Structure 1
């Protein structure tokens, strides 16, 4: 994989470029929304794994020795896409977490990909190989993916006729218990989630959900990943970790939520209320401090900073409070060290992280992909990842698909159980609309 080749082609929408390969194991689309520049389409990996005694070591082994990229190319120029379930955290702290039927870490290595430049409105085919000739052949093969066609019509009607929410009263009771434990000094904050479950309608598949979400409420970290017997559809707004080849780290934790308003006046008022909320700012700052502590494990002293706090970012159904934490990766440290030091994401666990995870494990069934991370890790040392919120995990069951989505809220000392339950319903609204309307 020492050589890299780049070829360009006219613009195509990345979602529809993926359509012919929607059922292919390890077909993947990472699609940006808003002002993001790059989306990626990947298929035909040359190596995969989904079980390893040390998943972090297995990730490094799959990436191999660090390789230079083309400075004129996209940020991701071949490498690994990984799906880390929340329970990968058990390999960081031995908490004896129960498991779902999702592996802790699934990874696939791709020697070729299509990168979609939303700013320049062109497609870049990337090929990797041991020689210039092999790299160019792989880039040409990737470019040919654009010639494939898909004649399946978009699914019409509700994708899921019966979407069942977990018990609202039980959730409020769990929140009240967490508040008591916070007041008692056990923890400062914990993220507690509810589940929505159902089945896709006959004739519908996970790609139909992905396209509907992209049309209705595009998010910065939209993603589709097809695995053997499983699929992941994510509409996440949240970055987990970003690393550039020079070692600059960025994380952007989200804490603090308000629904969008009925009209512009109410919408602005809700955003202003979020920005002014002492509770939400304190909740956000706790997670900023947690992420600073996590990054300090793999960063030189003094390099961890928080250049932006409490920025309101608005999405289709909610406003969020977002902060930015930066650092530098210490000499000799790897992307696997960074992931191990920071996983699971602080924004969906709590503080202190380990004790919050113990509280979560006592109140929720295993999470699987929810609150884990979907990431790409480049051969050149670059890395980017999302927090898997606003995410649906789908498992093939006979001739159809069963699905689960969750939405959580960060619980602090002055949390109101009813208000936190309403927050989960605001967060699930876009997924619920795409599934049921």
Structure 2
């Protein structure tokens, strides 16, 4: 009886929203390309912080109930079943606020409270593939952007972090600002356009009743294949010019900030890894995202046998590159300094299938509620940070997303410096 009640509770949110409409292509970030036109939604579960309980164990139970092997990610599995009517995999979204909540850290009020904090959507293959056609044109209008803090308030928060570093409270804190704009029309085509941005490794959308998320993230929060787990933190930004690339490669400040986060990610993986297996496979590789150069590293490890999805998410959420070091202390400063919650930004979004999990960190991410579009951008603050430069960096990160969401194409890229994935 208890098991039946648990299953009924996990199925309390059925297929809903834009994704259930047959003319919409399932476009979750990291979904296998070949499966995309053949999927339809079977079931979904979602959680808000006001629901209480531990969402990580419940979402693990929900996915297990649908036959996805997530109680032990290291157990050998066969590939997903692609026959009609059989479960292929699931989309998973976890907000940054959910991760902070599980660590016992308060978060600011969310600007889009209808957006859930955890969502899992199970998909199966259908006998009627969705045609790969662009969504119909709609009367899409986007109103003026309203920032949640002024440049002066943002700069003041940067200085407050520098003061905290001077006191020895933290080594680094990632500060994120929010902006919103009223809209009219169907937001999904605009959110879908984000995936066209160069370097959008996790480009795609996820939707539900009264909300939608569009992602153009280049950053891997966590990927698991077999018993191997990896993360690719990105930290360090410069304009995508020859001089900017040279400056990023030679900047002692950016390299120190980056290595600090690499060490934090190594520590996060060590909680779920066999002792001695955590390695830095690549350190400080400079790659391009739109009009910016960014530094990326790859950290990997061998998972401890018996590590489940809940264990994995508890270890890595929220991501170290968008919190700071030490993580718990940085989260307390974030809660005190940021003007509003991070909503869909700085969380996790991706795909789970038998034998493979791939979640992107939701930077370069926008979300909509019923009448406003929301966007988040920020950067890591260290003792050497210049408040004016940090404000400018956050604006530079948000600019290509704002342009594309409004329907304005980004400026052409120089041919001699092509964008990298």
**TM-score of the alignment, normalized to the shorter chain, above 0.5:** yes
2:107–2:335 Cα contact (<8 Å) kept: yes
The answer to whether residue 382 in structure 2 is matched with residue 420 in structure 1 is no
Q: Which residue of 2 aligns with 1:119?
A: none
Which whole-Å CA distance do the structure 2 matches of 1:247 and 1:416 have between them?
42
Summarize deviations over 1:168-189 as a string: whole Å, max 9, x none: 1100011011111111111000
Which whole-Å CA distance do the structure 1 matches of 2:379 and 2:132 have between them?
42
Q: Which runs of 5+ in 1 are unaligned?
A: 1-19, 113-126, 128-138, 261-266
Q: Which residue of 1 aligns with 2:418?
A: none
1:81 aligned to 91, 106, 125, which one? Answer: 91
- Aligned pairs for 1:285-364 (under 5 A) are 285-364=259-338
Kindly tell me: are residues 206 and 304 of structure 1, through their superposed partners in 2, closer, same or farther at Cα, counting changes over 3 Å?
same
Q: Which residue of 2 aligns with 1:106?
A: 119
Q: Which residue of 2 aligns with 1:6?
A: none
Kindly tell me: are residues 38 and 235 of structure 1, through their superposed partners in 2, closer, same or farther at Cα, counting changes over 3 Å?
farther
Kindly tell me: are residues 192 and 429 of structure 1, through their superposed partners in 2, closer, same or farther at Cα, counting changes over 3 Å?
same
1:22–1:207 Cα contact (<8 Å) kept: no
Summarize deviations over 1:231-280 as a string: whole Å, max 9, x none: 11111111100001x210110000000122xxxxxx12211211111111
Q: Which residue of 2 aligns with 1:29?
A: 27
Q: Which runs of 5+ in 2 are unaligned?
A: 1-16, 70-76, 409-421
Q: Which residue of 1 aligns with 2:9?
A: none
Give SS of 1:208's match.
helix
How does the TM-score come out when normalised to structure 1? 0.78
Shift of 1:342: 1.1
2:46–2:116 Cα contact (<8 Å) kept: no
Give SS of 1:145's match.
coil
Q: Which stretch has the larger CA shift, 45-54 or 284-293? A: 45-54
Kindly tell me: are residues 109 and 151 of structure 1, through their superposed partners in 2, closer, same or farther at Cα, counting changes over 3 Å?
closer
Q: Which residue of 2 aligns with 1:185?
A: 168
Q: Which residue of 1 aligns with 2:78?
A: 69
1:307–1:324 Cα contact (<8 Å) kept: yes
Q: Which stretch has the larger CA shift, 147-156 or 326-335? A: 147-156
1:253 aligned to 228, 233, 253, which one? Answer: 233
1:63–1:79 Cα contact (<8 Å) kept: no
Kindly tell me: are residues 338 and 22 of structure 1, through their superposed partners in 2, closer, same or farther at Cα, counting changes over 3 Å?
closer
Q: Which residue of 2 aligns with 1:407?
A: 377
Q: Which stretch has the larger CA shift, 211-220 or 307-316? A: 211-220
2:250 aligned to 273, 276, 300, which one? Answer: 276
Give SS of 1:419's match.
helix
How many residues align? The count is: 370
Q: Which residue of 2 aligns with 1:373?
A: 348
Summarize deviations over 1:125-182 as a string: whole Å, max 9, x none: xx4xxxxxxxxxxx42xxx2334877722657xx423112331110001101111111
Shift of 1:381: 4.1
Q: Which residue of 1 aligns with 2:205?
A: 224
Summarize deviations over 1:277-319 as a string: whole Å, max 9, x none: 1111111101100010011001010010001000001021211
Which whole-Å CA distance do the structure 2 matches of 1:61 and 1:390 have between them?
30
2:191–2:405 Cα contact (<8 Å) kept: no
Kindly tell me: are residues 56 and 99 of structure 1, through their superposed partners in 2, closer, same or farther at Cα, counting changes over 3 Å?
farther
Kindly tell me: are residues 353 and 69 of structure 1, through their superposed partners in 2, closer, same or farther at Cα, counting changes over 3 Å?
same
Which whole-Å CA distance do the structure 1 matches of 2:164 and 2:257 have between them?
16
Shift of 1:44: 1.8
Give SS of 1:367's match.
coil
Give SS of 2:204's match.
strand
Give SS of 1:46's match.
strand
Q: Which stretch has the larger CA shift, 144-153 or 313-322? A: 144-153
Kindly tell me: are residues 155 and 434 of structure 1, through their superposed partners in 2, closer, same or farther at Cα, counting changes over 3 Å?
farther
Summarize deviations over 1:198-223 as a string: whole Å, max 9, x none: 112x33x2222134334454611112
Which whole-Å CA distance do the structure 1 matches of 2:299 and 2:33 have between them?
21
- CA RMSD after TM alignment: 2.9
Shift of 1:49: 3.0
Shift of 1:385: 0.4
State the 4+ residue runs in structure 1 displaced beyond 6 angstroms. 36-39, 148-151
Q: Which residue of 1 aligns with 2:142?
A: 160
1:83–1:106 Cα contact (<8 Å) kept: yes
